[in-house]
Amino acid sequence: MNSQNDSFENKDANEKRLLAVALHYSGEGAPQVMAKGYGVIGEQILKRAKEHSIPIRQDAQLSGLLAQVPLGEEIPESLYLAVAEVLAFAYRLSSSAPEEMEEYSDLTK
């Protein structure tokens, strides 16, 4: 499989609502923000991720930063390292890293 989706969740401190962000990475370019939402929408994103056995990682700070990225847009360079760590986590759980990432797998251990 040469695509990967990951979901992040956190509770927004000011609004006390769930925030979920879903990423897609095809192995080319940078990961893209494919879905994001608070409250009921966030819950639906997490429900769909669980239904499809997509790894979920809680990271309030990263979720907040990713939520600022417009839907369909690639993540900014400033988030590459943090998201690479999350993708490595997801790939380890699913054992389906794109070939391009496998050569760099030792960097994330």
What domains can you pick out in the chain, each with its CATH number? 4-108 (3.40.1690.10)
How would you write the pLDDT of the chain (109 residues) with one tens digit per residue? 233 455 555 554 545 678 999 999 988 999 999 999 999 999 999 999 999 988 888 898 999 999 999 999 999 999 999 999 988 888 887 765 555 444 444 444 4
Tokens of 98: 């794109």
pTM above 0.85, yes or no: no
What phi, psi does 58 have (nearest 5°)?
-90, 125
Helix (H) or strand (E) holding 40: helix 39-51
Residue 1's alpha-carbon distances to 34, 58, 61, 75, 98, in angstroms, are: 18, 24, 29, 21, 7
Report the amino acid identity of residue 89: F
33 near 22, Cβ under 8 Å?
Answer: yes
